[in-house]
Amino acid sequence: MIVLTTPAGPTRVYEGTDTRAFSLLLGALAATPPATRLMSRAGERAAGRWSLVLAAGIGAYWIVADGQDSPSLFRGGLFLHALAAALLIALLVRAPRTPAGRLLAAAPLHRLGTVSYSL
């Protein structure tokens, strides 16, 4: 992704399967037995605190990133976002009744999640 980024346009990098495979692979890694065992070591309170930190960090990045015009997005930003999202999901699986878990399980967000890919 870093090598293929050009100032002319990020379309190739943003939509390329080869340049975005890390998103799917990080999610798959989070579902493996070693990763789930590692997450099970986190206490529910620690998982709750870290899930709030990660959710706030992801939200802040959404606010400050300038869409496809953000140079940091294609120089590690998308990878860090995918890593934070995978960790957040893993922590919420560990501790779903934390404040972040309850917030993200709200009915409007749940409905949005069911149609988000098609949107």
- Summarize pLDDT for 81-119 with one digit per residue, the tens: 899 999 999 998 888 888 888 888 899 988 998 898 787
SS3 state at 58: helix
As given in the structure block, the two tokens for residue 99 are 């404040």
Give the count of beta carbons closer than 10 Å to the beta carbon of residue 91: 27
Average pLDDT over residues 46-65: 89
Structure tokens at 42: 């986190």
Which tokens is 44 given? Answer: 């529910």
Q: How far, in Å, are 6, 25, 33, 104 from residue 22 at the CA level?
A: 20, 5, 19, 24
pLDDT of residue 8: 63
State how far Cα 89 lies from the chain centre: 8
Give residue 45's pLDDT: 87
